[in-house]
Amino acid sequence: MRALLVVNPAATTTSARTREVIARALASEVKLEVAPTECRGHARDLARRAVESGSVELVVAFGGDGTVNEVVNGLLHHGPDPGGLPRLAVVPGGSTNVFARALGLPNHAVEATGVLLDALHRGREREIGLGLAAGLEGTRDEEVPDRWFTFCAGLGFDAGVVGGVEQQRERGRRSTHALYVRQMVRQFLRDPHRGRGTITLERPDAQPVRDLSTAIVCNTAPWTFLGNRPVYAAPRASFDDALDVVGLTRMSAAAMTRYATQLLRSSPERGPRGGNVVVLHDVTGFTLLSQAPLPFQLDGDHLGVRFGVRFTGVRRALRVIV
């Protein structure tokens, strides 16, 4: 089997020694080419070229969730074709590694590589669904390119937090859970739309859901991790279904304290709830339209602001080695 290992040398928890050990281990099982990324978007281009070569059967993404997202978008550049595209494998190297952990992989690069080698030996794989976000026709965002995501997207508050953390990292701050908590407080205090929501959710054959202050779209559960603690915004979300949506219609200090407590206590059976929480399960297609530009993120990657986004849940989009 010919494989491409796409490595992000700047990933949070990797080192040159770890990368060398993992490359040697994989090379013992497959015919391996190693390609370090050099800039933002490079992992996507490497994966796209692997598909277009027609000779690569496996692409391994070694990095954080951002690297995985780029590789997935490269693999699906010409659209989903589970039977014809190279398989995807993941070696976690970021700070949170939500996608890898949601697949059941260890949150340690060497241990995850051991699981990957065993899966390759046994021929163990699964087909997973993915989310697709596109610019919304009739808005300023209609020309925005389509982009796939593996575990979550967000419009509003949570995307603002992601954007703030990215700004802090550009200034040299380390990506820690404490940084995320501080940024959540800052985002809440300066969010101009927390008093009245600007988002409307529309889907076929259903009444619009209006006045959402923020919306989180989940392709799997958990939504994220705080250290070793999984956090479930949409506990029923699954790689085997379409998309789940969680929206909040109220973001007062009391309401946010309640939501935060519910998230910290969430489980596979119980997520956020209450009169101001909107939860939709297994939705194939819907749009989020905002009266004002709001922060937008996919898989923890801040993509600027958006007025409208069209979402599609695509089942059985990609084969993953697990």
10-residue mean pLDDT profile of the chain (322 residues): values are: 96 90 96 97 98 97 97 98 96 95 97 97 97 93 96 95 82 75 83 85 96 97 93 98 96 89 95 95 98 96 96 98 96
In the chain, where does DSSP find H-type helix?
16-27, 42-53, 65-75, 98-102, 109-122, 157-170, 177-190, 253-264
Predicted confidence at residue 283, as pLDDT, reads 98
Residue 95 pLDDT: 87
Does CATH number 2.60.200.40 belong to domain 131-321?
yes
What fold characterizes domain 2-123?
Rossmann fold (3.40.50)
Decide if 132 contacts 148 (C-beta within 8 A): yes
Q: What is the DSSP letter of 76?
A: T
Residue 244 pairs with which residues in a beta bridge? Answer: 218
The confidence score (pLDDT) of residue 175 equals 67
Q: Cβ(245)–Cβ(278) under 8 Å? A: yes
Q: List the domain boundaries for the chain.
A: 2-123, 131-321
Give the residue from 45, 44, 7, 46 showing the smallest Cα distance to 23: 7
Q: For the chain, how are helix, strand and coil distributed in percent, rounded to 5?
A: 30, 35, 35
Domains 2-123 and 131-321 share a fold: no
Q: Output the pLDDT for position 14.
A: 85
pLDDT, residue 168, reads: 81
Tokens of 184: 């959540």
> Using CA atoms, how far apart are residues 187 and 205, in angstroms rounded to an integer?
35
Distance of alpha carbon 173 from alpha carbon 152, whole angstroms: 24
